[in-house]
Chains A and B, each alone.
Chain A
């Protein structure tokens, strides 16, 4: 078992510098030639956090119940940021992975690059953005005196699960998108639908009972809810939901790998 895994792992390691380079290209090189260059990578996430904090606490004054008066005015912002950062990472990764093979066709048709490894560069880039955003978020929480706890350590674990889910779903869609151009459009249209049907900007309490019954099957809801449990409520998220996501990930991954194995030769001809 381990022996069979060895060459595969070596294959992945050989692709690592390339993946890292492509991620870097997304993050840093894209801003090359602009005056402040690399700083743009930081400015985007910072402005986002500031907007969520200022607009929803100071200007609109939205609040949720349950915390001390000091923090109270920020609770909606915290609630929102927990969900929306994770959502942004998911949505941006998924849509770029879906178009990945067409977008990188000039590369895939010229040099040998693993189709399985390529999506990892997108995930890496988005993870770094997420980490930067979370750092700003944590700094903000510290500033307003929000209590931290060891539950924060669970965030990377949940995020790893989110990455795995995004990878599996993305790989499947990317393969299909080579054959069906419609996939790209469909993803672009369906992502906002998923965004608004998931309690990210609103609180799940406002949804009718029967809708919440189905919400269990929404992996994004499970993930977002888990982040909130860890960060806001300092508790381990209800286990079953995340296990469901993990199982779904596994099923998607196996399907995607089977499909890739079956069609890779054709797929490369097609690009």
Chain B
């Protein structure tokens, strides 16, 4: 059970450290103030997972540090029943010269465990970390993944009443991440309270019962994770827009002959109306063309790429409708509706205007990563992998087709 009541925290920014001491002693202000948290209140019950979303600098880390007691609040109360363990201090106190087993003791002591508790759980920790005989080797011989595994294993076995999870989890390989997630879910089922801080909207949607959104140190939303994720997206979109305004000047990363150009472009989910959509939702791409001169042979192409720059899907109008023509000065809007049954993640859309089937002869306009969108969560049936392929499954196929064998 975690109860946080009207928490305030601001940081004082000083020109030099000595000013800080003078102010602390005399009480005369010598600083500029940065408000990190401004009246934050919430509760996390037993067996509940509360997600915390917010962009960088919204106050998430400060909140976690206040909860672990590393920082002290200006005003407000934090009440936590039992021990609180953060996964933010994975591996605190690790000494590279000591063996993994000895480091378990070091780290566990830092987390506030007693020697009896450590001895009782040592084997469980070693098993969870899957380090096997490596546990007796010095830590300096470990890979960073192994160190992380050991750190997580200790933290999760510290038997806290409350767990604070942050981005620390996003390191490590997929297999171990899943194992951690499973362990966190078990912890929740046993009645532990979890505060889950992440940028990973999928994880928040899957894991959390409720979520709150922090913005400029205030709670701007508290409720179901879906709504929180949407609000978070809107905040991020606003930030992106602001940045876009700044980048407008150099934004025309487009090249080509400019005989025809794209003057406006948008890619939005049909249901969400934003650049974040669920997998399986229809992605609406609208493009405004402006021809500077008359052209006989024009094709529009788009390419969706994932965050690794891999081509996921591309198509051009030549393949479908053949070439179209534009008169001088003509403005035209082209609309594409794509069923985005692709894996959650971030994608970019590259736009091109060219002649024929490809851009190698006449390339009028080419703009890499002109648009961006994110897929989060699933609409309709879930799937694994890059994309959903049409698939029909018949669970009772054997009954009909095959002759019965050895009927007695």
Q: Measuring CB to CB, which residues of chain A are less than 8 angstroms from any residue of chain B?
A: 14, 17-18, 21, 25, 29, 32-33, 106-113, 176, 178-181, 262-266, 268-270
Q: Say whether A181 contacts B17, CB under 8 Å.
A: yes
When C-beta atoms are compared, the residue in chain A nearest to B114 turns out to be A17
Q: Known: A21-B106, A262-B24. Contact between A110 and B88, CB under 8 A? A: yes
- Contact at B70–A266, with CB atoms within 8 Å? no
| B379 at the binding interface (Cβ < 8 Å) | no
Q: CB < 8 Å: which of A21, A108, A180, A263 contacts B17? A: A180
Residue of A nearest to B65 (CB): A109
Q: Which residues of A contact B106 (CB under 8 A)?
A: 21, 25
Distance in angstroms between the alpha carbons of A18 and B224 in the assembled complex: 40
Enumerate chain B residues within 8 angstroms of A112, measured Cβ to Cβ. 68-70, 112
- By the criterion CB–CB under 8 Å, are B92 and A111 in contact? yes
Identify which of A110, A113, A265 contacts B72 (C-beta below 8 A). Answer: A265
User: How far apart are the CA atoms of A116 and B68 in the complex, in Å?
Assistant: 18
Contact of A107 among B24, B93, B138 (CB under 8 A): B93
B113-128 vs A, Cβ < 8 Å mask (1 yes, 0 no): 0110000000000000
Q: How far is the CA of A176 from the CA of B21 in the complex (A)?
A: 8
Contacts of A29 in B (CB 8 A): 95, 97-98
Q: Which residue of A lies closest to B23 (CB)?
A: A266
Interface of chain B residues 8 through 33 with chain A (CB within 8 A)? 11-12, 17-18, 20-21, 24-25
Contact A269 B17 (CB under 8 A): no
Please determine whether A33 and B138 come into contact, CB atoms closer than 8 angstroms. Answer: yes
Q: Is B387 an interface residue (CB 8 A)?
A: no
**Residue numbers in A under 8 Å from B72 (CB-CB):** 264-265, 268
Which residue from B11, B25, B111, B138 sits with its C-beta under 8 Å from A111? Answer: B111
- Give me 11 A-to-B residue pairs in the complex whose CB atoms sit less than 8 angstroms apart, sorted by A's number: A21-B109, A25-B106, A107-B92, A111-B110, A176-B21, A178-B17, A179-B18, A262-B24, A262-B25, A265-B74, A266-B24
Question: Are A18's CB and B95's CB within 8 A?
Answer: no
Give Cα A188–Cα B236 distance, bound, in whole angstroms.
51
- Residues of A within 8 Å of B110, CB to CB, are 18, 107, 110-111, 113
A residues within 8 A CB of B276? none
Nearest CB to that of A263 among chain B residues?
Answer: B24
Question: With A14-B112, A17-B115, A262-B25 known to touch, is A270 a contact of B20 (CB < 8 Å)?
Answer: yes
Instruction: Return chain A residues, CB-CB under 8 Å to B20.
Output: 179, 266, 270
Give chain B's interface residue range (CB within 8 Å of chain A). Answer: 20 to 34
A265 to B12, CA, bound (A): 11
A62 to B115, CA, bound (A): 51
The residues of A that contact B95 with a CB separation of less than 8 Å are 25, 29, 32
Across the two chains, which residue of chain B brings its CB closest to A111?
B110
Give every chain B residue within 8 A of A14 (Cβ-Cβ): 112
What's the dominant secondary structure at chain A's contact region?
helix
Residues of A within 8 A of B115 (CB): 17
CA distance A179 to B25 in the complex (A): 12
Name the 5 nearest CB pairs between A and B, nearest first. A179-B21, A112-B69, A110-B89, A32-B97, A265-B72
How distant is the Cα of A121 from the Cα of B12 in the complex, in angstroms?
31
Give the shortest distance, in Å, between B8 (CB) and chain A (any CB): 12
Contacts of B18 in A (CB 8 A): 179-180
Given the complex of chains A and B, what is the CA–CA distance between A268 and B12 in angstroms?
Answer: 12
Docked complex Cα distance between A178 and B69 (Å): 19
Most chain B beta-carbon neighbours within 10 Å: one of A263, A264, A265, A269: A269
Report A101 CB to chain B, min CB distance, Å.
Answer: 12
Among residues of A, the one whose C-beta sits closest to the C-beta of B90 is: A110
Q: A262 — which chain B residues lie within 8 A by C-beta?
A: 24-25
B312: interface (CB < 8 Å): no
B70 pairs with A268, CB closer than 8 A: yes
Complex: A262 Cα to B70 Cα, angstroms: 17
Distance between Cα atoms of A268 and B9 in the complex (Å): 12
Contacts of A180 in B (CB 8 A): 17-18, 21
Least CB separation from A31: chain B residue? B97
Q: Which of A18, A111, A113, A269 contacts B71 (CB 8 A)?
A: A269
In the assembled complex, how far is the CB of residue B140 from the closest CB belonging to chain A, in whole angstroms?
Answer: 9
* C-alpha gap A265/B75 in the complex (Å): 11
- Alpha-carbon distance between A18 and B115 when the two chains are bound, in angstroms: 10
Q: CB-CB < 8 A to A18: which residues of B?
A: 109-110, 112
Tell me the smallest distance from the CB of A269 to a CB of chain B, in Å.
Answer: 6
* Distance, CA A32 to CA B72, complexed state (A): 36
Asked whether A266 lies within 8 Å of B88 as measured between CB atoms, the reply is no
Cβ contacts under 8 Å, A269 to chain B:
11-12, 71
Task: Give Cα distance in the complex from A33 to B106, angstroms.
Answer: 17
Give the chain B neighbours of A110 by CB distance below 8 A: 70, 88-89, 92, 110
The chain B residue with its CB closest to the CB of A262 is: B24
